[in-house]
Amino acid sequence: MERGRAELLAGGTGRLGSAGPARRLPLSESRERRGCVEGREGHSTYSYYSTMSADPGVPTFSSMRLLAIALAGLALVSCGSDDSGEPAARGPDPYLDGGREEFEQFVASQDKPVVVNKWASWCGPCRFEFPFFESQAKKRRGEVVFIGVNSDDNRDDARDFLADHPVPYKHFEDPKQDIAASFNGVQGFPVTAYYGADGEREFVHYGAYASEQKLAEDIDRYAR
């Protein structure tokens, strides 16, 4: 396990001034986005019918084909809906509305220390440290406020990643890194910024944390 994490860290986060070359990782750990029909076909049993029928009471190929088309139409109508007929819900929206101004207002209005984690779904080191932030946010609930900044990412990939790896705090979408620029976090991925209870930025950490203990030490040191 530790070897696997070390390899992720060694992969680098190079983008916009970080140390290594930029590379996007496949979403092999994320939920695959399959089409409605494909998902249903994955659980279907297929039968093959002859085009000829010696018995007048046996359905011909044409009638069976019409039946198959009708059943497929019903499947498409029901896909994506629950029993009530309403569209299937994705759960609570993990994002807050707004950009840089709203982010700065959010930090200033907390009256508590704030830990900001800039991440992207394609970033291997971001994925590596994500469980550390989830754990620390749960342990420090009510004492420290956590907020994510999802920068330079594909919206669907990011939402799929959050659906598979939920954390107990919200995120701001930051497609052009305007929010990241507010805490000098454009240089690479991931980046963690610490704000005191007075709203003043105390420290910015560049790169992934090697362990939850290292993250906890910085929270104790700077998020006061």
| pLDDT value of position 91 | 58
- pLDDT one-digit tens code per residue, 51-88: 344 445 545 444 445 444 455 444 443 444 344 333 33
| Cis peptide bond prior to 190, omega within 30° of 0 | yes
The one-letter code for the residue type at 44 is S
| Bridge partners of residue 172, in order along the sequence | 96, 149
Q: Average pLDDT for residues 96-115, to the nearest whole number?
A: 97
Residue 125, pLDDT above cutoff 50: yes
CA–CA dist 184, 17 (Å, integer): 12
Phi first, then psi, for residue 31 (nearest 5°) are: -65, 130
Q: What is the mean pLDDT of the chain?
A: 74
Q: CATH 3.40.30.10 spans which residues of the chain?
A: 91-222
Q: Closest Cα partner for 112 from 205, 195, 221, 201?
A: 195
CA–CA dist 116, 83 (Å, integer): 40
Phi first, then psi, for residue 207 (nearest 5°) are: 95, 170
* Half-sphere exposure at residue 1, Cβ-oriented, CA atoms within 13 angstroms: 2
Give burial (CB, 10 Å; 0-12/13-18/19+) of 4: exposed
- Would you say the pTM of this structure is higher than 0.85? no
Q: Average pLDDT for residues 206-216, to the nearest whole number?
A: 98
Active-site annotation, residues: 123, 126
User: What is the length of the chain?
Assistant: 224
CATH code for the structural domain at 91-222: 3.40.30.10
Residue 190, pLDDT above cutoff 90: yes
